[in-house]
A and B are shown apart, each in its own frame.
Chain A
Amino acid sequence: MASYEIEIILNRQLADCLSIPVFITDTAGNLIFYNEPADKILGTSFEDTGEMKVEEWSTIFKPLDEAGAPLPPEGLPLVNTLSDQLPHHKVFWIESLKGANEKISVTSYPIIGRNGKFLGAVAIFWNTQDT
């Protein structure tokens, strides 16, 4: 079995130590890890789901703009990072599991390994309670 690159493994280990939700994907957008604080957003745990295909986990989110209209995928930071291998940041709303709209900010960054190879991406969800 081929193991993940060290850069991916170390990102997971870091995510495991953080109290903010972190999602890690491969280069195709498949969710290969999310930490415990991310459980609340997905409504499930990594221990239960394991890895999730991009088409599976992307439907869990319902990203909305300020007016409550659905955001297209190309408006999302992680999608942009997977596309252009650059960091992105955006504030938007998601429909929570309870049905309420929650304002969040998301920072995504590419994992570029030592040899300059694009290995995957990380999205960090920040709680946004002000403006």
Chain B
Amino acid sequence: MQTYHKHSITKEELRPTAEKLRAEGVPLAMIHAYFEDDGKPNVSYEFEVKGGIESYVVEGESVLPSIADIYDLGAEWPEREINELMGLTFEGLDVSKRLFLPDTMLEGQGQILVTPMDELIKKAHGKEAKE
């Protein structure tokens, strides 16, 4: 059986903990989040150790410091996912572009995939009429 140990930390302790573990070469397995029944968020940072997982949990904070500069894309993608799907904020995370479904498609291209068929028919008929 794989081991799993949970440690509660404050959001102020998060970055020093991540920096220490990164310096020791400990990989970040994943960042998970969920809401308690009273609506408070619970964000857990799961680090891979020999034989299992050490989980560092920040409870009740909807604004957390980003660790994307420490764990690079390995932390950036999970933070962006939690930001876009659960609405939590990571200070320092670049959210200028979306990870899940971009706001805008490239001019015209791809957009055709979501255009209703009747509008396409209208456009086609309009073009024929002009010609």
Chains A and B come from one and the same complex? no
